[in-house]
Structure 1
């Protein structure tokens, strides 16, 4: 999926702006190797990141975070993603969500492909979220899960097996 398709798939102006700023920072961080150009582009990225993402939307999605293609955001307010987190392709996230460590170590989540995260969810610790998982609103995920899981609750538990019966 190209950058423009990723922008088009996001609903509304604010999610498009968040994705654009994140991808610009990501490009600068990983693909620009000429030092003076990298510094200029990084300064531009940090300025837009500060004004639009941090001050206006209260978002923290560092350009150095590895997020696969197909990144989509609904309601881009209050999203925090730790730079050490690794996220697969076709990731959908909603507002007020945190993805990061527990504060006692640098272990951050590894999230697979085609994962959807509900409003206000917290995914913390050195865990692995398997592909095609759905995480419910306000769920607090602290343990790894199997593919095709549906995680809800505090602490989050898988309800997929219960739904199949």
Structure 2
């Protein structure tokens, strides 16, 4: 969760790292992934501050975040993903507001991470360095350990607490001990 300007800078630096972006600002034309992440992170920052100034800027960043979200088919709320979020493709991605995802999540199109029942906390908690393949569906009060890989079109509705495994299938089950081969680590900038 982004609470200070230092947190904001940290999140943006790590988001930029996963895309290999070296420039601070996105290009005028193109760069929608980066523009979306900038808007997401600034909206998060202003939403977690107090005062009328932050309330107004939260609304401004919300409109920009929403614009790029609609343009690319992403419904990704604030205060859900840790730093280093990588969204690989345009296309539908839907995430519940109450989900919590760690650092360096690598997510593909067609993913749905949501609520199973009526309770607000009936949503997944996902660890660091998790790779989520195209079309995966994760729902219910489940926990996914760090460094896991979730296969394409997997339906995950139970806990996977073993670190560094690959899960796939309908319903999902462990298929390998290899896990996410694209582990990312913090770099000091």
Normalised by the shorter chain, which TM-score bucket? 0.7 to 0.9
Unaligned ranges ≥5, structure 2: 1-9, 21-29, 180-189
Q: Distance in 2 between matches of 1:13 and 1:160?
A: 35
Give the alignment's TM-score, normalised by structure 2.
Answer: 0.76
Partner of 1:160: 176
Change (3 A) 1:43 1:152: same
Partner of 2:38: 20
| Secondary structure, aligned partner of 2:113 | strand
Q: Distance in 1 between matches of 2:83 and 2:130?
A: 12
1:9 to 2:27 alignment: no
How many correspondences in the alignment?
A: 159
Q: Greater helix share, 1 or 2?
A: 1
Structure 1 segments (4+ residues) deviating >6 Å: none
Which digits, 9 at most, give the CA deviation of each residue in 1:81-117, with x for residues without a partner?
Answer: 1110111111111111111111433211110111010
Deviates more, 1:66-75 or 1:10-19: 10-19
Q: Distance in 2 between matches of 1:92 and 1:162?
A: 16
The answer to whether the 8 Å contact 1:111/1:130 transfers is yes
**CA RMSD of the aligned region, Å?**
2.1
Give the alignment's TM-score, normalised by structure 1.
Answer: 0.87
Unaligned ranges ≥5, structure 1: none
Which digits, 9 at most, give the CA deviation of each residue in 1:8-67, with x for residues without a partner?
Answer: 42278232122112111111112x222x1122112112211332212x12211112x332
